[in-house]
Structure 1
Amino acid sequence: MPLEGPARIVQTLTARGFNADREAVTLLAAQPDPAAALEQVLEDVPDETLVISAESVRQIVETTDTQTGDSTSLTATDDRVNQSDRKPRSARTQDSSNPVSDDRESHDPSISTPDVDRTGTDDRDHGADEPAGFERSGDVDERDVRIRGDMTGESTGTGAYRDFVSIFRDRLDRLQSKLSGRVNHRPASSIEGMPGGSDVAMIGLVNDVRSTASGHWLVELEDTTGTFPFLVMKDREYVDLVDELLRDEVIAMEGTLADDSGIAFVDSMYFPDVPRTREASTADRHVEAALISDVHVGSEEFMADAWNRFADWLHGEDAQHVEYLCIAGDMVEGVGVYPNQDEELDIVDIYEQYEAFNEFLKRVPGDLDIVMIPGNHDAVRLAEPQPGFDEHLRSIMSAHDPQIVSNPSTVELEGVSILMYHGVSLDEVIAELPAEKASYDEPHKAMYQLLKKRHVAPQFGGHTRLAPEERDYLVIDDVPDIFHTGHVHKLGFGKYHDVLAINSGCWQSQTDFQKSVNIDPDAGYAPIVDLQTLDVTVQKFS
């Protein structure tokens, strides 16, 4: 068996039913004869072993060296082993694609259908039949994965009153800083004491929005000193912005005080927004990331065949530049998420669902860097932000050693920042805003609204469950290069002020529950992003 570095080691281990620590793979690759060392480890490792550790490799190979008189050192010299925020694995060469026309709108980039077998369930050993000498492109030393905003283990909320006060103060402080350069704002208590006819400006949380008998709009803003009403006249050019407002988001308003100083007539309105002058960061080489979500293993409608075709494609030369896989929540179908869900389950035990998901995860190449966040169907708290999975579930989902972080989190891949958020608040945005500004058919437009508000779930107390914390982890402090969501099971992507927004569809065909609420899912699609250009190609596997 030819063995070209860590990629072939991982692929061989996967084909034999094993996972391995990164350091174990590095140690094997460092041996004078990696193929022989790997075969020795596979021969000597106990049958019940699931994950081959570095210590197991040391013990087995050192024992063999002692018996044969070989004094080969097993001390890892690769400094990548100890870098906590890098996970370099292997690489490939060559570029190939097979674009095929599709009957759905592709939003400019092409939707491709891979040339793979589409008949039935494929039970081959995935990962064992790549072309000889096949490797991923690029230099593994250039792999770079960094996580920002992971709040796993950082939750301090108790549900006490002070937690609610704290989260809104933090939200206002951080988003106010993004608006203060645009307006000369004053606190509500100061505005109340100003004479009629004065020019005023205020930054605050939207406390209420209501229409008047004359068809105008009254927007009440709140800051730490109190509240103040602003009247948006129905004949002003910016009145349509009122349709975009959600309670609890932070905005700025400028206007003129009425003669009695009891209200201000609005002249302009500002959102924290993404600066129009912003330029996205890109990778220094041709490297790609697959962005998917909503796998829903355990559902009767989970599309196992489509997933297997996706895994096969990732093992082929058409995917030679794909080195990263980002999964934005709902690995499994879960239990008790919606009424009568048990009637649509193929696997009724939640832990068995995760075990099955792990088996499907094993089918993708082991030389990918994988990052996962939870979703509302997963076995974590429903209230956002959602911490990453507990240690027991992490131990179950151990295939290929994924990085598991909170929802939301920002993952930086070779300098390209990807804000990963499962997307439950998209339901609320779509329900509250006009159809031309947010809809299920174009979910990326609802994502534009969250970028504009610089918050992934601004409305508190609605359908989206939000947890009070000392810090608002849902604020979009730093503008991402890519915004990746799921949840709504619809495919859509586009750019907003140079931010690539992608909702990645799902891997579950339509359930009876979805039929009852008129959801027609886009299932079996995998958006592939070129991190050097931020171009998108959608691969179709259904």
Structure 2
Amino acid sequence: MTISREKLIEEMFEKGILINEELLKGDIDETLLEKLKTESDLIVLNDAYVDVIKQESSLIDWYEVDKVRVHAEKDRDDDLYQSQLQNFKNSTLTFEMPQKTQKQEVSSLEVEIDHTEDFNLGTLESSKELEKLELELPPLNIDQPSSAVTILISYENKPWKFEVADFTNFFTSRFKFLEGILRNRQELQNMLSISRVLEKKERENISIIGIVDEIGETKNGNLMLTLEDFTGKIKVLITKSKKDLFLDGKDLVYDEVVGISGVTGDKIIFAENIVWPDIPSTHIIKKGPEEEYVIFLSDIHVGSKLFLEDSFKKFIQWTNGKIGNETQRNIASKVKYIFIAGDLVDGIGIYPGHETELSITTIEGQYKKFVELIKEIPSHIPIIICPGNHDLVHLAEPQPVFYQQFVPGLFDLPNVKLVTNPALINIGKKGDFDGFDVQMYHGYSFDYYVANVESIRNGGGYKRADLIMKFLLKRRHMAPSFTSTPYYPGHKEDPLLIKKVPDFFITGHIHYSSVANYKGITMISGSCWQGMTSFQEKLGHNPEPGRVPVVNLKTREVKVLRF
């Protein structure tokens, strides 16, 4: 049955999807609307995309498809686009179940875990289908080696009477480190201090390094910046006639450190280029010597009425090899590390009316329930945990490890390693292989950049954690604007600097799973295990729960299992 042009436009408008004009000229089957209900990331609908969507049980990473289309249009290479589109259409995976084999088309990283029905921990015998699954599949052969985990950076917050100098030290230490990186950049020629530039009387090509002090706009719509170094301040003009440069300038935020090359004027610089500290282009994807897996989780939110306990228990059962097809069970047997990037519990009084959405109304009770759950994860798997903004620690970053008196049992689990937020951890070191460095950060600063950075806001906002993480990696800082997160000032240097280039950047907070690569760094935002709260509904924030990114450390391939 076909649908009318008007109904299609109305339905797509409500979902925020733009329709290609050519598509409206043909007949559209009503079943398309049903399939579109599962495609929450789709932005544009055209003939080619409809062909992909019509596949049975298709799961599409539309951001990846759109990226391919943009690159193809930029290079005027339609053959490339059609070739890549065909790859999305034809990617297949076979799921095996007892007495049943189902072939499912898969066009993204995301795979749904095989299970028969909902069940509770400790009552597996009540599920006949599950008993049958366990009988027909061979038992897991779970190795018991000691997995290598080294905590490289985890902070200790020592209280004392803070002075202004403690806060200014954040900026001076940040500036010195990032200036050291930028001074080695070839794009910044004829480097001068700001005081020397202010003395120039003639036009001259120069470069400076400064911290962004002010961001404004002229009456003609050009950007006017004020940059500062240890010697002074100077105005920098970015004209809208330089379109690419202007767009880069629109992404600048207060307090970040950048390099500017341009031409001097009368106590002003006319910018020609903006240079960020960034990740070196020489950084490559590191691969391990053995097939083993790491899991990245975040935002469990135990204690909330909206906590998806059944889904989380299914995840735990999968780690024990109790559910999943043969391939998925094999992956579970080789999981060697689990990271949880904060918000273990829902907390108390986090937002207005929060208490009405709690199933467990004491903080000790929430953590007790969390411990009961994760102790069911196989004990040979190290679990590395940092706090988040819902956890009972102070909000200022770096957030300390948990307070033992409020987390009964958590410190007693032998396979749990507790670190601060942020923290840097090395895993998988063996023999001549130096392992993988994992930068953990819950992501409290993300809200600021979604609200204030135009390219992130217009590029998908909370649904594009990859854009936020790339933004931060380019600046080598997890919260470059001082107002983007509360700071604990008692450290000799800025603890949110990304001084060592990691292999993984793992975050959470925004309740939307994202996986991407940037200059050899695998960026992963954990999903969540909580439905939409009333507070999120008011903000128009639609979470995507129950996704588990799983990384093969030998190939660096990422799969997202959906529970």
Q: Distance in 2 between matches of 1:440 and 1:199?
A: 40
| SS of equivalent residue, structure 1 residue 461 | helix
Q: What is residue 446 of structure 1 aligned with on the other side? A: 468
Q: What is residue 153 of structure 2 aligned with on the other side? A: 149
1:411 is the counterpart of 2:418: no
Are 2:464 and 2:514, in contact at CA under 8 Å, matched by a contact in 1?
A: yes
Q: What is residue 188 of structure 1 aligned with on the other side? A: 194
Question: Could you say which structure has the higher helix fraction?
Answer: 2
Once the two structures are TM-superposed, the CA of residue 196 in structure 1 deviates from its matched residue by: 2.6
Q: What is residue 344 of structure 2 aligned with on the other side? A: 331
| SS of equivalent residue, structure 1 residue 471 | coil
* Alignment map for 1:520-531 (pairs within 5 Å): 520-531=542-553
| SS of equivalent residue, structure 1 residue 140 | coil
Are 2:368 and 2:407, in contact at CA under 8 Å, matched by a contact in 1?
A: no
Q: What letter matches 2:540 in structure 1?
A: N
Match of 1:298 among 303, 315, 340: 303
Once the two structures are TM-superposed, the CA of residue 431 in structure 1 deviates from its matched residue by: 0.8
| SS of equivalent residue, structure 1 residue 502 | strand
Once the two structures are TM-superposed, the CA of residue 189 in structure 1 deviates from its matched residue by: 2.0
Match of 1:466 among 462, 474, 487: 487
Higher relative contact order (CA 8 A, sep 6+): 1
Once the two structures are TM-superposed, the CA of residue 532 in structure 1 deviates from its matched residue by: 1.5
Q: What is residue 363 of structure 1 aligned with on the other side? A: 376
| SS of equivalent residue, structure 1 residue 523 | coil
The C-alpha deviation readout for 1:258-315, integer Å capped at 9, x for no partner, is: 1x3x111111110011122211222211010110000000000011100110001011
Are 1:102 and 1:111, in contact at CA under 8 Å, matched by a contact in 2?
A: no
The C-alpha deviation readout for 1:218-252, integer Å capped at 9, x for no partner, is: 11111122211111111114111012111111100
Q: What letter matches 1:202 in structure 2?
A: I
Match of 2:280 among 246, 263, 275: 275
Q: What letter matches 1:148 in structure 2?
A: L
Q: What is residue 428 of structure 1 aligned with on the other side? A: 448
* Alignment map for 1:155-174 (pairs within 5 Å): 155=158, 158-174=161-177
Match of 1:497 among 495, 498, 519: 519
Q: Distance in 1 between matches of 2:249 and 2:394?
A: 33
Once the two structures are TM-superposed, the CA of residue 159 in structure 1 deviates from its matched residue by: 3.9
| SS of equivalent residue, structure 2 residue 468 | helix
Q: What letter matches 1:466 in structure 2?
A: Y
Quote the RMSD (CA, aligned, Å): 2.3
| Long gaps (5+) in structure 1 | 1-99
Are 1:293 and 1:327, in contact at CA under 8 Å, matched by a contact in 2?
A: yes
Are 2:364 and 2:408, in contact at CA under 8 Å, matched by a contact in 1?
A: no
Structure 1 residues 424 and 250, CA gap change in structure 2 (3 angstroms): same
1:515 is the counterpart of 2:522: no
Structure 1 residues 117 and 157, CA gap change in structure 2 (3 angstroms): farther
Q: Please say which of residues 111-120 and 318-327 is displaced more in the overlay.
A: 111-120
| SS of equivalent residue, structure 1 residue 307 | helix
Q: What is residue 79 of structure 1 aligned with on the other side? A: none
Q: Distance in 2 between matches of 1:162 and 1:381?
A: 22
1:373 is the counterpart of 2:390: no
Q: Distance in 2 between matches of 1:102 and 1:322?
A: 27
Match of 1:249 among 251, 256, 269: 256
Q: Distance in 2 between matches of 1:157 and 1:263?
A: 42
Q: Please say which of residues 514-523 and 157-166 is displaced more in the overlay.
A: 157-166
| SS of equivalent residue, structure 1 residue 311 | helix
| SS of equivalent residue, structure 2 residue 274 | strand
Q: What letter matches 1:369 in structure 2?
A: P
Q: Distance in 1 between matches of 2:497 and 2:57?
A: 39
Q: Distance in 2 between matches of 1:525 and 1:394?
A: 26
Q: What letter matches 1:242 in structure 2?
A: G
Structure 1 residues 149 and 502, CA gap change in structure 2 (3 angstroms): same
Q: Please say which of residues 112-121 and 207-216 is displaced more in the overlay.
A: 112-121
Structure 1 residues 157 and 440, CA gap change in structure 2 (3 angstroms): farther
| SS of equivalent residue, structure 2 residue 483 | coil
Are 1:361 and 1:399, in contact at CA under 8 Å, matched by a contact in 2?
A: no
Q: Please say which of residues 349-358 and 277-286 is displaced more in the overlay.
A: 277-286
* TM-score, scaled relative to structure 1: 0.76
| SS of equivalent residue, structure 2 residue 462 | coil
Percent identity between matched residues is: 31
Q: Distance in 2 between matches of 1:101 and 1:477?
A: 43
Are 2:211 and 2:255, in contact at CA under 8 Å, matched by a contact in 1?
A: yes
Once the two structures are TM-superposed, the CA of residue 411 in structure 1 deviates from its matched residue by: 1.4
Once the two structures are TM-superposed, the CA of residue 504 in structure 1 deviates from its matched residue by: 1.3
| SS of equivalent residue, structure 1 residue 440 | helix
Once the two structures are TM-superposed, the CA of residue 120 in structure 1 deviates from its matched residue by: 4.4
Are 2:59 and 2:110, in contact at CA under 8 Å, matched by a contact in 1?
A: no
Once the two structures are TM-superposed, the CA of residue 155 in structure 1 deviates from its matched residue by: 4.0
Q: What is residue 110 of structure 1 aligned with on the other side? A: 109
Structure 1 residues 427 and 540, CA gap change in structure 2 (3 angstroms): same
Once the two structures are TM-superposed, the CA of residue 105 in structure 1 deviates from its matched residue by: 2.6
Match of 2:335 among 315, 322, 334: 322
Q: What is residue 231 of structure 2 aligned with on the other side? A: 225
* TM-score, scaled relative to structure 2: 0.73
Q: What is residue 37 of structure 1 aligned with on the other side? A: none
Q: Distance in 2 between matches of 1:423 and 1:512?
A: 21
Are 2:263 and 2:270, in contact at CA under 8 Å, matched by a contact in 1?
A: yes
Q: What is residue 413 of structure 2 aligned with on the other side? A: 399
Q: What is residue 402 of structure 2 aligned with on the other side? A: 389
Match of 2:561 among 510, 522, 539: 539
Are 2:286 and 2:520, in contact at CA under 8 Å, matched by a contact in 1?
A: no
Q: Distance in 1 between matches of 2:210 and 2:119?
A: 57
Are 1:101 and 1:112, in contact at CA under 8 Å, matched by a contact in 2?
A: no
Q: What letter matches 2:152 in structure 1?
A: R
Q: What is residue 499 of structure 2 aligned with on the other side? A: 477
Q: What is residue 308 of structure 1 aligned with on the other side? A: 313
Match of 2:207 among 187, 195, 201: 201
How many equivalent pairs are there? 435
Once the two structures are TM-superposed, the CA of residue 436 in structure 1 deviates from its matched residue by: 4.0
Q: What letter matches 2:445 in structure 1?
A: S
Structure 1 residues 113 and 449, CA gap change in structure 2 (3 angstroms): same
Structure 1 residues 437 and 246, CA gap change in structure 2 (3 angstroms): farther
Structure 1 residues 102 and 368, CA gap change in structure 2 (3 angstroms): farther
| SS of equivalent residue, structure 2 residue 463 | coil
Q: Distance in 2 between matches of 1:393 and 1:282?
A: 39
Q: Distance in 2 between matches of 1:334 and 1:222?
A: 41
Q: What is residue 182 of structure 2 aligned with on the other side? A: 179
Once the two structures are TM-superposed, the CA of residue 337 in structure 1 deviates from its matched residue by: 0.9
| SS of equivalent residue, structure 2 residue 413 | coil
Are 1:157 and 1:470, in contact at CA under 8 Å, matched by a contact in 2?
A: no
